[in-house]
Amino acid sequence: MDNPVSLSKPLVTVIMPAYNSERFIGEALSSLYREDYSPLEIIVVDDGSTDGTENIVKGFKEVLYFYQDHSGVSAARNTAIALSKGEFIAFLDSDDIWIPGWMDEAVSYFRTDPGIDYLMGRHESFFEEDFVIPAEIKQVWTDDDIKPHATGVIIARRTCFERIGNFSLSLRISEDVEWLVRASDHGLALKRVSFIMMKKRMHGWNLSITDRSDHKEIRMRIAYDSIRRRRAKKLANDQGKKPNPNSGMIYE
């Protein structure tokens, strides 16, 4: 992680929310330690774990660890964003695996083109041993490795969050989808890249699998929210006014 030659490079913060993550978080953090980009800040926000998550994280001396009462993954990410110092912010969930080596290329895109606000790459899914993915969602997770709702394939300028806000505290699931839709509605410039940024672990505790009862309703509400926001923006433009960035937003 340390490389004196790279001191002139911008600081990148990698944010990892964690909740009862003792089973996988050690492997996730070890994968981040293989990243040779420097300077790199790693922040873990423990969202009220009652297992051995804290002890495992504190075994990684360079990781900044913060504990908060259980408030959800959005609150954990938002806490880390507030604590972070990086010019650029990336994410890794505590059960996934970082693919090292792409960070230099990603940062070079930002430095070459100041117009790029955030960058989105790709990921691979893999299945935990003995886990059988439900048939009704198997195609969704295995056919396409470009997942627009995986925060682990996003790296963004800090200014993105200053401009459009952080992750919605109102959503238990699909909070990443909501943020990406909001980013698009507000005209943040996205660059897609082909390199693989992380490996997503599929197991019986994935919220995207275990908490699917409200997926359809939430996605419809996010879409409706987007329509309202775009209409408000068009109306403001037609009237020659500066659009309110919060117009039409259901989730704050």
Give tens-digit pLDDT for 178-234. 999 999 999 999 999 999 999 988 766 655 554 555 667 766 777 767 777 767 776
Mean pLDDT of 147-155: 78
Q: What is the pLDDT of residue 249?
A: 39
Ramachandran area for residue 120 (φ above 0: left; ψ -120 to 50: alpha; else beta): beta
For residue 133, the Cα-to-chain-centroid distance in whole angstroms is: 23
Mean pLDDT of 39-53: 98
pLDDT at residue 12 greater than cutoff 60: yes
Q: What is the pTM of this model?
A: 0.81
Maximum average pLDDT range among 41-45, 133-137, 231-235: 41-45
What would the two tokens of residue 207 be? Answer: 């919220």
Q: What is the pLDDT of residue 67?
A: 98
Domains and CATH numbers, the chain: 4-212 (3.90.550.10)
Mean pLDDT of 37-57: 98
Q: What is the pLDDT of residue 138?
A: 55
Q: What is the pLDDT of residue 146?
A: 41
What percent of the chain is modeled with pLDDT above 70? 74
CA dihedral sign, ordered 203, 180, 140, 207: positive
Q: What is the pLDDT of residue 250?
A: 34
